[in-house]
Structure 1
């Protein structure tokens, strides 16, 4: 019996399968490996893009998944978010482009939400199933944020959205093909990119300071 991702991460003995509308990520990953190069977080591999035909197949794979979730939704369930994702994937399939997609390493690095922090009745926005209906929920919170001005300093700060939580099985395929939050469409790696830019700017500033200091020393002893 195959283990679900939560059981794998926490070393739990595989449990009996239960009825769920959540997609099976194992089958998605099998198809993904057939379509795309081996995922990697390295910048060099990110620039090695898949072929347009492979992208069309990938978007079709995710589109079929989202369409099945919408069609299987119980009566009265709000499927507006799913419909929006489906419409976007239809456009992507016709005009394939892969910008900002996440790798498996990126998925593994997403913050997990402990079971004790989940509330009764809290739903995954994609499959609309309650997180706690699963005895071993694997829920991630995406690092989306709003820009605000800190009244104390006048500087721009980023305040995270704590509500953008999803079953990893539901949001994983979308992130691996799109890289944006299904709710607000922010680049999930935006914070990571901001930190990288900040680190680069600090390195440049330090290099300039070192050069200026060396010029002073040379002037004194030259």
Structure 2
């Protein structure tokens, strides 16, 4: 059975050529080794060689994306990852899966033809079913989830402006107390 028949693509419809995103299975396997929040031992620290491997594999994947026509942001991300691979941190300071799940999804209808992922450079609308997310730091910081997720698993910062995405939000101020309420006593709720 041909690909077109198997995927229900009409023969006269051309399929756009997409650069292939690199396989990140090695990256995520290495990330499992350094994710200390998943271990039972709260004092566990990852091995520096394992942390180095995580940064190196993502750097290599981004380098492959750059060869396929990625954007200028990739150069700074690659340099940052290589610097961290040369001097690995004691632990990875990325975001949780729950954080990734809660990122705002950008509806396809609100995307423009010229909009593309700053990391891979592929226009969002070339994908039939784009999964585009918006980072909370700026309304224009939108990415393919496949591209931004690995970066965010290592860094809790936006790759564009490097703002910390995990800043603790201050609780809202208490509502102003009305003077009448303070002096009243209601036996029903006492």
Residue 94 in structure 1 maps to residue 90 in structure 2: no
Aligned equivalents of 1:105, 1:45: Cα separation in 2: 21
Q: How many residues align?
A: 162
Q: What secondary structure does 2:143 align onto?
A: strand
Where does structure 1 lack aligned partners over 5 or more consecutive residues?
Answer: 1-13, 145-160, 203-222
Matching of residues 33-112 of structure 1 within 5 Å:
34-37=32-35, 49-73=45-69, 79-97=71-89, 98=91, 100-112=93-105
Residue 189 in structure 1 maps to residue 162 in structure 2: no
Normalising by structure 1, report the TM-score.
Answer: 0.62
Q: What secondary structure does 2:169 align onto?
A: helix
**Contact 1:22 1:127 (8 Å CA) reproduced:** no
Q: Tell me which protein shows more helix as a share of its residues.
A: 1
Where does structure 2 lack aligned partners over 5 or more consecutive residues?
Answer: 1-6, 10-14, 175-190
1:115 is aligned to 108
- Structure 2 CA distance for partners of 1:137 and 1:100, relative to 1, 3 Å: same
Structure showing greater Rg: 2
Aligned equivalents of 2:16, 2:103: Cα separation in 1: 25
Aligned equivalents of 2:150, 2:156: Cα separation in 1: 9
Q: Deviations over 1:19-65 (max 9, x none)?
A: 5336357625642454333766xxx9998542211110100111011
Residue 176 in structure 1 maps to residue 172 in structure 2: no
1:212 is aligned to none
